[in-house]
Amino acid sequence: MSRIGVFICHCGENIARTVDCARLAEESGKLPGVMVSVDYKYMCSDPGQNMIKRAIAEHKLDGVVVAACSPHMHEPTFRAAVVQSGMNPYLCEMANIREHCSWVHTDRELATEKAIDLVRVMVEKVKRNQELFPIRVPITKRALVIGGGIAGIQAALDIAAGGHEVILVERQPSVGGNMARLSETFPTLDCSQCILTPRMVEVARDPRITLYTYAEVEEVEGFVGNFKVKIRQKAKSVNADICNGCGDCWNKCPMKKIPSEFDAGLGYRTAIYVPFPQAVPNTPVIDREHCLKFLKDKCGVCAKVCTRGAIDYEMQDEIIEAEVGAIVVATGYDLYGIGKEQPNERWKGYGEYNYDTYKDVINGIQFERLLSASGPTQGEVRRPSDGKVPKSVAFIACVGSRDPEKGIEYCSKICCMYVAKHAMLYKHKVHDGQPYIFYMDIRAGGKNYEEFVRRAVEEDGVLYIRGRVSKIYKDGDQLVVVGADTLSDSQVQIRADLVVLATAMVPHKNAYEFAQKIGIACGSEGFYSEAHPKLRPVETMTAGIYLAGACQAPKDIPDAVAQASAAASKVQLLFSSDELEREPIVAKVNEVTCVHCRNCIRVCPYSAIDDKEIRDRHGNLIRMVAEVNEGMCMGCGTCVAACPSKSVQLAGFNDEQVFAEILALGHE
């Protein structure tokens, strides 16, 4: 005979408003096997928990049912409480009479009846609960950081500083990401490369960090503490061990007119190239799509001029396999592509801004390159069409952002600030120039941000015009920008020599496919989802995978760095113990009845079930069965449903328990 205690919570008014808790306690007390049944205003409070603890001792209870909110909220609370009285935590269950009852019903009588049913069901389950003990799995104390922008660099450095090995994978030939392309950074106007390049160098130098550039993560398998990853090292066609980065090859390469990705198409690069002078590593790669050797089997100049014989046209992609315990995803963002061609059906371009047609309508990153000393104009602001120094520049904020019609509803967060910075830097370089900014709101929430924007207006004479731009058309060699100023209720026209569009930050173009590949979730707009928007901002729903930087949401450099350090500290927290404790709610195969039909192996969404050989003491194979890897099993129960011989059972939710619940529900 069981000795169960039932504890009913009023949750203030949340439950008591709709459910007659006193009657529920009375009815629950009559259930067979229930020794004590009480109700209380706040069961989760200290007095409430003490009530449970005392009852366990007084009535020698062997099972507890707490009828309260969702187990998502307070199951850990109550399980911890019963442990203090010496009870196994898995003998405590919750009946959800709030979300499943009081919040969704209005009729007090019927809701109370339903609550009684819910308690009865849970009492029948708890009678059949068994003691369970946490599963321990070993942890591989090595981290994988995906993406070598500022967030990835910061995360890698922090984890390495904690004494752990890090594998940093970057898709481009150099680390640095988008931050390396910026000229100056708001709100302090310090040079982006000056503050970034020391970090890049450090990443390459740190013996605990293994850096793979021009590489991509192909496959992620396994689970927290025990991931197996495959990394594709794309063929660089240059032997990095021999190359000394002298630059003879790219200086002699005849393919000089390839638009440079780093300069956002405003400058050119060669077919064998390093993306920018401070690249880390400073080893060139051959872009096989543009190299004459690969296109027509001609040229071969780079191999001829290389004094060290580092050029290797035969080089093949290589798959590197590694075992890691944690993964930090820092894959960054892309820029919304203004023009008519869009990567998906949701997004529409701005035909009215003529970005595709007019050379002097450029985007924010292109303007950064025009301002940058390492850019195509060596830092002089010259417009792309004729190289003239523009005497008036119109900056347009919210191009893409906050425009549901174009498919992007969110605010890209950083544009208000970089537009102010652009206008300011332009004015610092062209003293007699006039910057205009068309905007909807100025969102300058951040340390010293508002002050920065006011400085642009009051000291540098930037004219803010509050309204979206309707169209941009050409008149002579100038561009006419037609906008509005809602502050003075007027339509405004401006003649500008150059127009800079502050384009939205959008998820990386392969973000969705990549999320599927590594098993994390995306929001509807395509940014990776954190486990909780407030309380778990750097974790994903997949244990052991963390987020850093703009792959999670648009953010500026300080925020990206902060998140990267937070992710790194989460990784170090994970690595601080040798073993990981997991919930014992996992499937187990009965090897006696298993016929090795392999149904469970096929249906398992986590690839947690594998074949197992059963051998006699001489090592002869007797037969095969299925075996669940306790470290990987997430307790979803798919295998239980699929097993034709009922040989798989889920601990904590076995057939006996579930059927008892169903029968209790049918009982009148």
Partner 1 sequence: MRFSIDSEQLESGAVKRVEEMIQQSPSVCYQCGKCSAGCPVHYLMDIPPNVVIRLLQMGQTDRVLESRTIWVCASCNTCSTRCPKEFKIAECMDALRELALATGKDTPSEKDIKLFHREFLKSTRRFGKVHEASLAAFYKLKSRHFFADVGAGIKMFFKGKIRPIPHRVKGVREIRQMFEAAGYGQKVEQ
Residues 6+ apart with CB under 8 A from 518: 146, 217, 220, 327, 329, 542, 545
Identify the burial level of 259 via C-beta atoms within 10 angstroms of its C-beta, where 0-12 means exposed, 13-18 middle and 19 or more buried: exposed
Angle between helices 364-371 and 415-429 (to 10 degrees): 30
Alpha carbon distance 668, 666 (integer Å): 6
- Pick from 542, 176, 505: nearest CA to 328: 542
- Pick from 523, 421, 549: nearest CA to 150: 549
Least separation in angstroms between residue 487's CB and partner 1 is: 5
Least separation in angstroms between residue 479's CB and partner 1 is: 13
Least separation in angstroms between residue 490's CB and partner 1 is: 4
Alpha carbon distance 89, 80 (integer Å): 7
Least separation in angstroms between residue 494's CB and partner 1 is: 5
Beta-carbon-side half-sphere exposure of residue 264 (alpha carbons within 13 Å) = 25
Q: Which is nearer to partner 1, 380 or 485 (by Cβ)?
A: 485
- Pick from 216, 220, 246: nearest CA to 233: 216
Q: Which is nearer to partner 1, 435 or 584 (by Cβ)?
A: 435
Q: Which is nearer to partner 1, 434 or 629 (by Cβ)?
A: 434
Alpha carbon distance 514, 254 (integer Å): 36
For 18, the 3-state DSSP assignment is coil
Q: Which is nearer to partner 1, 78 or 436 (by Cβ)?
A: 436
Q: Which is nearer to partner 1, 344 or 491 (by Cβ)?
A: 491
Least separation in angstroms between residue 432's CB and partner 1 is: 8
Least separation in angstroms between residue 473's CB and partner 1 is: 14
Least separation in angstroms between residue 469's CB and partner 1 is: 13
Dig out the tokens for 335 from the structure: 């820029």
For 337, the 3-state DSSP assignment is coil
Q: Which is nearer to partner 1, 458 or 668 (by Cβ)?
A: 458
Alpha carbon distance 92, 78 (integer Å): 7
Give the interface with partner 1 as residue ranges (CB under 8 A). 391-392, 434, 436, 454, 457-458, 461, 463, 465-466, 485, 487-495
Q: Which is nearer to partner 1, 70 or 488 (by Cβ)?
A: 488
Alpha carbon distance 193, 196 (integer Å): 5
Least separation in angstroms between residue 177's CB and partner 1 is: 34
DSSP 73: H
Q: Which is nearer to partner 1, 31 or 480 (by Cβ)?
A: 480
Alpha carbon distance 192, 199 (integer Å): 11
Q: Which is nearer to partner 1, 494 or 511 (by Cβ)?
A: 494
Alpha helices in 372-434 (DSSP H): 415-429
Least separation in angstroms between residue 187's CB and partner 1 is: 17
Q: Which is nearer to partner 1, 432 or 616 (by Cβ)?
A: 432
Q: Count other C-beta atoms under 10 Å from residue 245's C-beta.
A: 16
Least separation in angstroms between residue 377's CB and partner 1 is: 22
Q: Is the peptide bond before 187 cis (omega within 30 degrees of 0)?
A: yes
